[in-house]
Structures are given as structure tokens and as C-alpha cells.
A and B are shown apart, each in its own frame.
Chain A
Amino acid sequence: MEFHYTQSIDTREIPALAPEILGIRISHMVGQGWRVISFCALRNTESILLELSLLCLLAHEETGKIAAFRTSPLSPGDTYPSITPQCPQMHWFERELHEQWKIIPEGHPWLKPIRFVPPMNGERERPLPGDTNYFTVAGSEVHEVAVGPIHAGVIEPGHFRFQCYGEEVMHLEISLGYQHRGIEQRLQHGPYKATPTVMECVAGDSSVAHATAYAVLTETLLEQHAPAQGQAIRRVALELERLANHTGDMGAIAGDTGFLSTASWCGRIRGDFLNITALLCGNRFGRGLIRPGGTLYTVDPALCQTILERLELAYRDMCGAVNVMFHSASVLDRLQSTGILSTKAAQDLGIVGLAARASGIPTDARFRFPIDGFQEETAQIRTLTSGDVYARALLRYQEAEDSMNIIRRELAHLAKITQTPSPACTPLPLRLPPHRLAVAFCEGWRGTVCHTAATDASGSFALYKIIDPSFHNWIGVAMVVRNEQISDFPLCNKSFNLSYCGHDL
């Protein structure tokens, strides 16, 4: 069943396939340019038995179409033929589904937990975090380096196992789950009054992206639209988030090459961008700003002017700080040809966002699945082809310029429409329609944030699935460090800068 991404569908009308056929359909469509955006278990809420249909959603970027499939009901312990061997981008989805519901993909090449959590069917027995059989390399001079869960810097926890031969990394396995807070369970049967605030905490550095995705999803289900002012403020906040994080990442990459002046300046300038977000709503991460129906804060022409002035100053400082880094031979030597992700690997593994664009894949939800009122002609999808750390760093610099152009335009637009005070938020009905399914995309700075919701007969969430770009991209980090020096791992990792909690949920 196919539908446009701005529409919702009736969950009862999704055709049910035999589990054996599902894999054939999915790999056929992926071969035709579709991408798997969600694969999860949809529980039949009208049955007292634990009946689960596997729900698979694919997206076609050129046409903005979504395809939905589901299987006939399965129960925990049932098996189906694994789709991963023909379609590698399914690998993490199938592992997640197995961990959550004990539905076994037969023939999965690497079936292990991804979060180390108890299953969702009510069993309390839980595995120890990180306790699994890691991929090992044997040989007399091969050694293993284990890092984490607590890392050396001020970052989130995760466990990394390197198989090294001398300085060279032969393989890296990443074991996550330490940040698992049970967000999916927290959202079930909602929306509650805390739901919008939970969305802002899915991944702290992408608060605006996740809050926007939730707001757009609710509006799609209700067939409502946010007022022009609210939409424009959301776009400004999203680009400010991108500017802040891209600046911080470029500084961190400079820091890992030992180019400390740029690291220090970018650390400060990142804060300037966050403080501009705080001008909008008081919170540096944009929390409390975006809600279904619009935004909770309004702007006026004077505030638009203040934001623009401070933004231009911060952007000028950022360009100066980053330019000296990109003109330093010692920095370029570390960045170029380090941590290469080939276009083929990125495509096969379903890498999204900035990392995919740096490997030559033109994917960007702002342009492919634009949210109401986005002016596509302000910018275009940027891609680079080398796929190395340098490409991921340079792309951040180029995208910052696009973000500035988008914000300049949006602020001019906002200053015009707010000359007479207008609302930024429309009140929405409290209850969602029953038996509907919808999808929302929002291109955060890291990549495409995808939220999927399905409602039950009473209009509450039977399913709320959050796919942060980190879910797709962690495997990319593991791939690019192969055959690199272990000392280049921090650079490779920083060039992706993925979220642990966005993955662990």
C-alpha cells in the first residue's frame, strides 16, 4: 500500500502478507531505490492474545511516497526468513525486533541484542549490558582493545571492542544500550501531557528535530496545519540547531587533530548559536518551544533583527575559526583519505544524513520530504564524493552556509508577517483519530529523524516508533575504522558524532 508522506492511512487497510514473502518484496523495492524507514511489531490491540504483525515502511525519496506492508500475525518464538542476507540495511531492525519481541529472523548473520534490555512481552529477565560473544580475530600478534562504557571525555556511555594488529584496526564492534531509558514504553498509550517534553529528551542535541517530527506527525494524523509564524520559527530553530552542532563538531575534529585554537574558538561560537536559540524560548536547546499546532513563543520584528545581528557576528567568527583549520596542511593530512565510507557501503547499509551526503548520496529530508512552507529554492542538497573525514568536516562548513541563507530568509519573512501580532500556535483537538498510521520526517543536523505512529481504536498510540539517524549510522562508524590506525578512531567517531541515547531510547 502506497501513500504520500503528508497523508495518514487506515491501519486496517494495510495488506497482510505471508512472512515468507515480505523479504522478497522488501529487497525488490530496495533494489528499485526505496529505503527502509521502519520495521517493527504492531500489536493487535483488539485481541487478548499477543498477536504481532511485522510492519515495514519504506520511503521513496524522489516521489515522496511511503509504502506500507505488514505480515499475518506472529507470536513471540515464531520464525520468519531473515531479510538481512539480501538487504543489509535490515540488519539492525531485525536485531531490534528479535530483542524486543523474540521473533526470530532465521538466517540472520549476526543475531545479538542491540540494547541489552528485557523483552517487551512482560518477561523480567534481562541480559547484562555488553555481555555477548564479540567478534574476535585470532593470531599470535593480534590484540583486543576494550573501551567503555564510560569513555575518557564528557560524552555518553557505550562499549567499543577493537581487534587490532599492531596499530591497525581489523574490526570494531560497538555494543550499546547503556543509555536505554524505556522511551518507547513511556510513549505507549499516549499522548500524555509529558509526551512533547519526552520528545525533546530523545537526543538532547537534536531536541528541535525530534520535537518538530512529533509535532508534524500529530498534525498529519489530525489533518491540521501550524500557522505560518509557528512553521517559520520551527525552521529557524532547526537551522540554529544545525549551526550550533556543526560548529561544535568542526571544533571537536580540530581538537582531535591537535589544532587547538580552532577547537577552542568553535567551542565558544557553538555556545553563541545556542544562546541565540535561547533568545527564542529561553532554553539553549530549544526546549519548550515546539508543540503540536505550532510554537509556544512568538517573535516580533525587533527580536528578528536582534537574532539576525547576533547570528551574523557568530557566523563571521565561525568562518574565521574554521578557515584557518582548512588551510592548515597538518590538519588536512590527518583528515584526507581517513575513514573512508564508500558510496556502495553507505547505500547498502542504509546510512542517512550528513554521513550519506559526504559519500555522494543525495538524501536530505528538508528537500525530499519538505514540511509545510519550506522554500526549497533557498538551498539545495549538498553532496561530496570522497566519503572521508575531510568530506564530513567540509560538508558541515558548507551546510552552515545554507543554514544561514535559510535563516536569513525566514527571519525576513517572520519580520514581515509579525508586524501585526499573529498566533504561532493553533489549538488542536485533544484526541487523535482511531486506527490511523502516519509518518513524519525532519532533517536534523545529524540526519533524518523519522517518527512513526499508529493509533488504536480509542485514538491512543498503539505504536510510536522513533528512528534517530544514529540507529542507521553506528554501523558506519564501525566500517570506516577498518584498516585505519587506532589513533584515528577519535577522528572517525567525531566525524559522525552519533547519539547514544537517540539509539538506545
Chain B
Amino acid sequence: MFAILRQRLRQKNRTLNYPFAQPEISPRYLGRPQIRKGACPDSCTICADSCPTHAITLQALRDEEGIALDMGRCLFCGACAQACPRKAIVFTQEHHLASPARTGLIITAKTPETPAIHRNPKRNFSIFSRSLRLRQVSAGGCGACEADSNVLGTPVFDMARFGIEFVASPRHADGLLVTGPLTENMRVALLEAYEALPDPRLVIAVGSCAISGGLFEDVQECNNGVGNLIPVDMFVPGCPPNPWSILDGLLSLAWYAKHVR
């Protein structure tokens, strides 16, 4: 008994006062990409050639419209930034990546540096009156997105203080948090879980697999993410997204529900 109490004191209080305090993420972390305008000659395709997932599309007039990087396909591996001799693509330390719209994940030279949702730091977290219950469904996820979602329940993130929790049954849930490229063998099970949710229901797609199929785009056994099967309310890109990005996505849901819907 005393040993447990002593250990409790040693383990300290580790919860970060997010989102008012910002987390310390590795200096080598690759976050929200930025694209420099006018850096690219018209014939250059180095970045698109280096990308393992077709996340980069090149516009015809490269100097004016530049390149478009789809974070929904991006693995944040940094291959394009390393390959580009002109440093046209830079990955910043910014972990606010989530977007309620699929188009909000596409980065061009014209995209503002901070996403619209995050201009006002005092956000209202009280979606469903400070009670958001989620059912997590892995539909072909490799376990990384699942692990980084599950970790939100640990003391560092402690998402329960915002009223967010994972529950065991879709019938107890307000929304689904889906990971994975939606394998053919999970299609029916995911649909059944979605139909078991009471209205109004939310869907959060976490990871590039769930958003676009990611590394498994156009593979016969997968269905290019969950968006083709059920409507998605929030996209959190990454492979896997940093847990702070996922928590930010969940908190952004409240902002979105209030201002957009």
C-alpha cells in the first residue's frame, strides 16, 4: 500500500494543459508542409517522382500555381523535401493538421500557414455538452493509428478531461473514429457499426489510409479509405498522426459543429 502511494508520488502529474500549453515534439518531427511560391521551374518533377503515394500533383503553370500536396495521401516521410534541390517543400513543426473538409488537406503555395480553425485559441470544447463518446473501428489499420488514438486516454493527453472517451459499443457512441484503408473484409462490419450509432453521428477518419487509402490506394483488397462508404466529419492526416494531432482534431470537432454546421 505504502509502496504504491510512494510510487504514485514519484510518477508525478504529467498531464499537459493542452491546448493552452503547446506540446514539446521532436525537433525532427515532420508536421504541416509549406510550399514556397515561384521556386519551381516548369519542367521539374523531382518531388512528385520521389513521393511513395502520389500525394503531390503538379500544376501546368508551375510558377503561378505551383505544386499541390495532398496531406490526405501524404505519409509525412519527407522524401519530397529531401529530394527537392530548391527547398520548395518544407515540413514545419506545426501539428495542427486536421480539417473538416477533404479539400482543406490540400496544401498549395496559397494556403495560409495556420489553418482557419486555429486562429482563435480559446475554443469551445463543449460538443454534446462536454460529452463525446467514440467507438474506434480499425478497418485494415496497421496498429499505429490505433495505438496513437488509444494513447489519448493516458495521463499525458487525458482526453477524458474534455469529456471525450472511447466506448465499447457503437450504441453508446456519438461517433466513429475510423483507421485503415477500409479492407474489403471489414466493409460490412464498418457499415453495421455506423448504422448502430444513434443520430446525430460523427465520423473521424484518422491517418492517410483512412482518408484516401494512403499506401494502399487502388489496391484490389482495399476501398480507398472510409469516405466512399460513410460521410466523414473530420480528417486527421498522418502516418500515423502524432497523438497531439488527433487530439487537436477531436477538439476541432466542437469548433466545427458550432461554426460550420
The contact string, 1 if C-beta is below 8 Å from chain B, for chain A 216-240, is 0000000000000000000000000
Question: What residue of chain B has the Cβ atom nearest to residue A264's Cβ?
Answer: B155
Per a CB cutoff under 8 Å, which of B10, B77, B185, B189 touches A287?
Answer: B77
- In the bound complex, do residue A204 and residue B147 qualify as a contact, i.e. CB atoms below 8 Å apart? yes
Q: A320 near B144 (CB under 8 angstroms)?
A: no
The residue that A178 contacts in the complex, of B14, B78, B186, with Cβ under 8 A, is B186
Residue pair B52, A193 in contact (C-beta under 8 Å):
yes
Stretch at the interface among A30-38, A58-66, A147-155: A147-155
Question: For the complex, what is the distance from the CA of A74 to the CA of B23, rounded to whole Å?
Answer: 59
Q: Which residue of B lies closest to A192 (CB)?
A: B52
Q: How far is the CB of A181 from chain B (nearest CB, A)?
A: 5
Is B30's CB within 8 Å of the partner chain A? yes
Chain A residues near B181 (CB-CB < 8 A): 181
Nearest residue, chain B, Cβ from A244 = B147
- Contact indicator per residue, chain A 257-300, by CB within 8 Å of chain B (1) or not (0): 00001001101101100010011111111011000000011000
Contact of A282 among B30, B139, B149 (CB under 8 A): B30
Q: Let me know if A373 is at the binding interface, CB within 8 A.
A: no
- How many B residues are at the interface, by size bracket? 35 or more
Report yes or no: B11 in contact with A181, Cβ–Cβ below 8 A: no
Quick one: which of A115, A248, A323, A324 has the most chain B CB within 10 A? A324
B212 to nearest A CB, angstroms? 14
Interface pair A155/B146, CB less than 8 Å apart: yes
- Bitwise, A308-319 to B at CB < 8 A (1) or not (0) is 000000000100
User: Which of A179, A185, A204, A324 is within 8 Å of B183, CB to CB?
Assistant: A179
With a CB–CB cut-off of 8 A, which chain B residues contact A177?
Answer: 185
Report yes or no: B3 in contact with A324, Cβ–Cβ below 8 A: yes
Query: Inside 8 A of B53's CB, which chain A residues have their CB?
Result: 194, 197
B58 at the interface (CB under 8 A from A): no
Q: Is A116 an interface residue, CB under 8 A from the partner? A: yes
B106-148 at interface with A (beta carbon < 8 Å): 136-148
Cα distance A201–B153 when bound, in Å?
24
- Which residue of A198, A203, A285, A500 contacts B215 across the interface (Cβ within 8 Å)? A198
- Smallest beta-carbon distance B144→chain A, Å: 3
List of A residues within 8 angstroms of B186 by Cβ: 129, 149, 157, 178-179
* Set A155, A207, A284: member contacting B242, Cβ < 8 A: A284
Cβ-based interface call for B29 (8 A): yes
Residue B222 lies at the interface, judged by CB distance under 8 Å to chain A: yes
* Known contacts A267-B154, A267-B155, A285-B144, A280 near B28 by CB under 8 Å: yes
Q: A275 near B26 (CB under 8 angstroms)?
A: yes
Taking a contact as CB atoms under 8 Å apart, the answer to whether A117 and B28 are in contact is no
Say whether B75 contacts A153, CB under 8 Å. Answer: no
B219 within 8 A of partner (CB) = yes
**Distance to closest chain A CB from B47 (angstroms):** 13
Chain B residues in 8 Å Cβ range of A155: 138, 146
Q: A154-B150, A281-B28, A287-B77 are in contact. Are A194 and B4 (CB under 8 A)?
A: no
Residues of chain B within 8 A (CB-CB) of A194 are 52-53, 215
Assembled-state Cα–Cα distance A288/B80 (Å): 12
The interface residues of chain B lying within 8 Å CB-to-CB of A149 are 186, 189
Q: Quick check: is A213 within 8 A (CB to CB) of the other chain?
A: no
Whether a CB of chain A sits under 8 angstroms from the CB of B240 is: yes
- With a cutoff of 8 Å between Cβ atoms, the chain A residues found around residue B30 in the complex are 282-283, 288
Q: Are A324 and B142 in contact (CB under 8 A)?
A: no
Q: Are B77 and A180 in contact (CB under 8 A)?
A: no
Asked whether A154 lies within 8 Å of B166 as measured between CB atoms, the reply is: yes
Residues of A166-222 contacting chain B, CB below 8 A: 177-182, 185-186, 193-194, 197-198, 201-205, 207
The answer to the question of B42 belonging to the interface, with a C-beta cut-off of 8 Å to chain A, is no
Q: Are A207 and B144 in contact (CB under 8 A)?
A: yes
Cβ distance A237 to chain B, nearest Cβ, rounded Å = 13
Shortest Cβ distance from residue B58 to the other chain A in the assembled complex, whole angstroms: 17
What is the 8 Å Cβ interface bit string for chain A, positions 123-166, against chain B (1 contact, 0 not)? 00010010000000000000000000110111111000000000
Residues of B within 8 A of A501 (CB): 140-143
A interface residues, tally (CB under 8 Å): 61
The answer to whether B11 touches A197 (Cβ under 8 A) is no
Binary B-proximity of A102-115 (CB < 8 A = 1, otherwise 0)? 00000000000001
Nearest CB in chain A: distance from B205 CB, A: 15
Q: Is the C-beta of A89 less than 8 angstroms from some C-beta in chain B?
A: no
A499 x B143 contact (CB < 8 A): yes
The reply to whether the CB of B84 lies closer than 8 angstroms to some CB of chain A is no
Chain A residues whose CB sits within 8 angstroms of the CB of B61 once the complex forms: none
A435–B156 alpha-carbon span in the complex (Å): 52
* B28 contacts A204, C-beta separation under 8 Å: no
Nearest CB on B from A452, distance (A): 21
How far is it, in angstroms, between the C-alpha of A359 and the C-alpha of B188 when the chains are bound? 39
Kindly state the separation between the CA atoms of A287 and B130 in the bound complex, as whole angstroms.
35
Which residues of chain A come closer than 8 Å to B258, judged between CB atoms?
Answer: none
Cα distance A181–B224 when bound, in Å? 11
B152 to A: closest C-beta gap in Å: 9
**Docked CA distance A201–B136 (Å):** 19
Q: Is the CB–CB distance between B242 and A157 below 8 Å?
A: no
CB of B221 within 8 A of chain A? yes
* Residues of B with C-beta under 8 A to A204: 141-147, 240
* A193 vs B54: C-alpha distance when bound (angstroms): 11
> Does chain A have a CB within 8 A of B25?
yes
Minimum CB–CB distance for B55 against chain A, Å: 11
Nearest neighbor of A148 in chain B, beta-carbon distance: B189
- Contact check, A156 vs B14: say whether CB atoms are below 8 A apart: no
Across-interface contacts of B216 in A (CB, < 8 A): 181-182, 186
Q: From B153, B183, B184, B239, give the contact of A267 (CB < 8 A).
A: B153
B166 contacts which chain A residues (CB < 8 A)?
153-154
In the assembled complex, which residues on chain B have CB atoms less than 8 Å from the CB atom of A432? Answer: none
B75 neighbours in A (Cβ, 8 Å): 197, 287-288
Q: List 17 A-B contacts (CB under 8 A).
A: A115-B185, A129-B185, A129-B188, A152-B168, A155-B138, A180-B140, A181-B181, A181-B216, A185-B220, A203-B142, A204-B141, A205-B144, A264-B155, A285-B240, A297-B28, A321-B11, A323-B7
**Nearest 6 pairs between A and B by C-beta?**
A204-B144, A204-B143, A182-B221, A204-B142, A267-B154, A282-B28
